[in-house]
Structure 1
Amino acid sequence: MIAGRYLRARRKEAFISVIASLTMVGVAIGVATLIVVMSVMNGFRGELLDKILGLNGHFTAYPIESKFTDYKETVESIEQVDGVKFAVYFVEGQVLASGRGSSTGVTVRGMDEENLKKLNLLYNSAEQGGFDQWDDSNGIAIGYRLAQTLGVGIGDQVQIINPDGAMTPFGTTPQIRSYPVTAIFNLGMVEFDSFFMYMPLEPAQDYFKLFEDVLKPGQEPLDVMASDEEIDAAYQRVPQASAVEIFIDDPDAVGLMRSRLQADPDLRPMVLTDWQQRNETFFSALQVERVVMFTILSMIILVAAFNIISSLIMLVKDKGADIAVLRTMGATRGSIMRIFSITGTAIGVIGTTVGLGLGLLVASNAEAIRAFISNLLGVTIFPPEIFFLTSLPSRTDPLEVTVVVLMALGLSFLATIYPAWRAAQYDPVEALRYE
């Protein structure tokens, strides 16, 4: 009751009440800022991880020792390994893509429709056109940012140039072909929407010359003087793939899954590269940034805790006579400490509660707030060219929110100890001497 009366404003103690109110606001701002920033950084990491692993897989397996002609059998064997969700084979190469007066380097991936359907993120992201009858389309699918760069739309021709073309007496000539755009996708990630191009598997194998000439069963090797007709009759062209993307149930269990894949006797020799190796620098930088931001923003709550100390010290000075009267009426030192501890802790509890509500509200509407401020000010906040994503993601982690709340409450309580102890040390005689 006494602690509550000390918190309520009166004309005489208006200044102290204003200090206490500002301290509550400081705690609330600190808690809300920490929750919002950590939620946005969690969302940023989660969205990037989902999109990167939605296309590139948790492992990329590259064949060694022989040409990768048994890619279908290899995928079937990989999918039998415990812990593997699915696997896809693909053809990949670097080319120069040209549209209406503009050119840019892109990565071409050749995949058949069966494997493309396994990549739900890509298959369901077509904004124009689609992947129906993909194997028979002989067209290409490009990201919407790449379409804007090249100035093309559905049905337009895109010319792709591969420097590793046909051998001539004058050297290697570039291979130039044109393909119609049959699908434009939007993955919401600048890297994929700007630099990736997909085409059906067989046209990609033909374009990159991923075939191996193998003697037909029962056919004897030909001598060096054999004609082209004899060579064509004796050999058959066996298609190859570039690599296999492997998707596993637990993205963090790459160490265990690497051991299982390498120990499986049914799998051909392969070099495995996991997603943590491919993106080690990027995600390590994100983790360091999260820790640094948490540490820096925690200083806001720490400053608010020091404000609690100063406001309580002023309150103790102002209530010296009240403390003396209470002591003469039989109040113990412990009772006096509890009064001022409850007063200071109440400031922290109220500020933390308000900050919790405000932080969760802002975090859950981060993208709407960003869009509103961007439209209001006429500037681009969170530009996708820098941050890779087209929207501001936010994912609130209950564990992190709990840590922030407990930290704020803990600092608020610790801040009350010294002022409450000083109040308990007041000598009633000295306090009432000049009253």
Structure 2
Amino acid sequence: MLFRPAERLVAWRYLRPTREEGFISIVAGFALVGIALGVGTLIVVLAVMKGFHVELLGRVLGVNGHATVVAGPAGIDDYDDLVGRILKIDGVTGAMPYVEGQVLASANNASGGAVVRGVRPADMERRELFRDSVVAGSLEALERPDTVMIGSRMAARMGLRLGSRLTLVSPQGAATAFGPVPRVKGFEVAAIYEVGMYEYDNSFVYIPLADAQAYFQLGERVSAVEVMVRSPEQIGAWTARLRAELGQGQRLVDWQQLNSHFFAALQVERNVMFLILTLIIVVAAFNIITGITMLVRSKSRDIAILRTMGATQGAVMRIFFLSGASIGVLGTLLGLGLGLAFALNVDTIRLWLEALTGAELWSAEIRFLSQLPARVETGDVGRVVGMGLVLSFLATIYPAWRAARVDPVEALRYE
């Protein structure tokens, strides 16, 4: 057995506060609280940042696809043939042609810029994100001409509901003797969706593909074709085969090219936060060194008596190592419990704090997502707990070694 019962008994007695050693107990308490706060905070931050990354990536890819075939302002003709060739590639799960354009959307004396996408309702039904995000109406309603599906935030901002009229104004109008005239057309709101990402819920408008082709004067062409693959994280494995199916003037752009800087910045931020919050645990570990060193100084006579009774240097070292390690282990376990409890209920706690303080702690306009996400990863939790334990053990080694080096003769000389 690594620690004998007598060593555990002495180590536990040294951890209990006494009147003469109250300050040492305070230092040990601060060390325990510091490690608990450091471990708990690190677990929560890593869970929130992982959740933010996963949710944001899922929504971005769910709306925009994993790769996109584009061909400039002229658009893509014979797109059904292109879609058929792409779908024959092993690992491709979907391909959706669409028309896209910038417009001014207005209703009820409210207006704002919007992105219009013309799509086929059958293609939208195959996209899980849209199939599960319709909160009013249905995707089948887009099969009727002159209908539109808008986001929940746009509907709230403009006071729209099912059956309301939304006017779209495009600068790509007809040319006249007085210059180009903007194209204005009204649409009936047939469905309202909410994907949980502010940018899309507030500014993306979906209309039938045929209406979009006529509205943007593209004839039988489309602006682009979105491609969905089985494993978007490995999109590079499909790019070569996809490019082989492209026609003249067409090019492929994958999601990593479009969003690489953004998601790379998220990863850098996550690594920096991990490093910064690790310093909290390091400071707490220094408190363990201070507390155990002071304990060794105050227990010099006890150490000398133990040595004269036959205790070896190894036994003394194990006693004080166990004392310091117990602080680190208890602090790490306490931080683990607090961190998991907070991370698994972080959005509920956020809503409670907002109701209590009246302040907005999570702005969807700034943070992109409507909810505060959190995703607890076993690997992240294991790294944090392991780091807390290792730092606690390392912080205990030196004062325990100093305790084992105490000379009994010198310690009892003036007793």
TM-score, normalised to structure 2, is 0.94
Q: CA deviation at 1:153?
A: 2.1
Which residue number in structure 1 is paired with residue 404 of structure 2?
Answer: 424
Which residue number in structure 2 is paired with residue 139 of structure 1?
Answer: 147
Tell me, yes or no, if the aligned pair for 1:3 and 1:339 is still in contact at 8 Å: yes
Q: CA deviation at 1:254?
A: 2.0
From 51, 56, 60, give the equivalent of 1:48: 56
Look up the equivalent residue of 2:297 and give its one-letter code: K
Q: CA deviation at 1:276?
A: 1.4
Look up the equivalent residue of 2:173 and give its one-letter code: G
Tell me, yes or no, if the aligned pair for 1:135 and 1:201 is still in contact at 8 Å: no
The yes-or-no answer on 1:83 pairing with 2:91 is: yes
Tell me, yes or no, if the aligned pair for 2:166 and 2:187 is still in contact at 8 Å: yes
The yes-or-no answer on 1:309 pairing with 2:289 is: yes
From 387, 395, 402, give the equivalent of 2:367: 387
The yes-or-no answer on 1:257 pairing with 2:238 is: yes
Which residue number in structure 2 is paired with residue 5 of structure 1?
Answer: 13
What SS class does the counterpart of residue 26 from structure 2 fall into? helix
Look up the equivalent residue of 1:76 and give its one-letter code: G
Which residue number in structure 2 is paired with residue 37 of structure 1?
Answer: 45
Against the structure 1 CA distance between its residues 22 and 67, is the aligned structure 2 distance closer, same or farther, given a 3 Å change threshold?
A: closer
From 377, 391, 413, give the equivalent of 1:397: 377
Tell me, yes or no, if the aligned pair for 1:308 and 1:344 is still in contact at 8 Å: yes
What SS class does the counterpart of residue 185 from structure 2 fall into? strand
Look up the equivalent residue of 2:387 and give its one-letter code: M
Which residue number in structure 2 is paired with residue 61 of structure 1?
Answer: 69
Q: CA deviation at 1:267?
A: 4.2
Which residue number in structure 1 is paired with residue 318 of structure 2?
Answer: 338
Gaps of 5+ in 1: 212-238
- In the alignment, the residues of structure 2 paired with residue 396 and residue 203 of structure 1 have an alpha-carbon distance, to the nearest angstrom, of 44
Look up the equivalent residue of 2:67 and give its one-letter code: F
Q: Which moved more, 1:15-24 or 1:415-424?
A: 15-24
The yes-or-no answer on 1:113 pairing with 2:129 is: no
Tell me, yes or no, if the aligned pair for 2:141 and 2:190 is still in contact at 8 Å: no
TM-score, normalised to structure 1, is 0.90
Look up the equivalent residue of 2:301 and give its one-letter code: A
Which residue number in structure 1 is paired with residue 329 of structure 2?
Answer: 349
- In the alignment, the residues of structure 1 paired with residue 125 and residue 347 of structure 2 have an alpha-carbon distance, to the nearest angstrom, of 30
Tell me, yes or no, if the aligned pair for 2:141 and 2:191 is still in contact at 8 Å: no
The yes-or-no answer on 1:407 pairing with 2:415 is: no
The yes-or-no answer on 1:243 pairing with 2:251 is: no
Which residue number in structure 2 is paired with residue 324 of structure 1?
Answer: 304
What SS class does the counterpart of residue 109 from structure 1 fall into? strand
Which residue number in structure 2 is paired with residue 234 of structure 1?
Answer: none
Tell me, yes or no, if the aligned pair for 1:210 and 1:240 is still in contact at 8 Å: yes
What SS class does the counterpart of residue 347 from structure 1 fall into? helix
Deviations 1:85-122 (A, max 9, x none): 21111111111111111221110000111111122212
Look up the equivalent residue of 2:126 and give its one-letter code: K
Two-structure CA RMSD over aligned residues (Å): 1.6
Percentage of pairs with the same residue = 49
Q: CA deviation at 1:65?
A: 12
- In the alignment, the residues of structure 2 paired with residue 390 and residue 68 of structure 1 have an alpha-carbon distance, to the nearest angstrom, of 35
Q: CA deviation at 1:309?
A: 0.2
Look up the equivalent residue of 2:377 and give its one-letter code: D
Aligned pairs (5 A) from 1:183-332: 183-211=191-219, 239-263=220-244, 266-269=245-248, 270-332=250-312
Look up the equivalent residue of 2:284 and give its one-letter code: A
Count matched residues.
Answer: 406
Tell me, yes or no, if the aligned pair for 1:64 and 1:271 is still in contact at 8 Å: no
Look up the equivalent residue of 1:282 and give its one-letter code: F
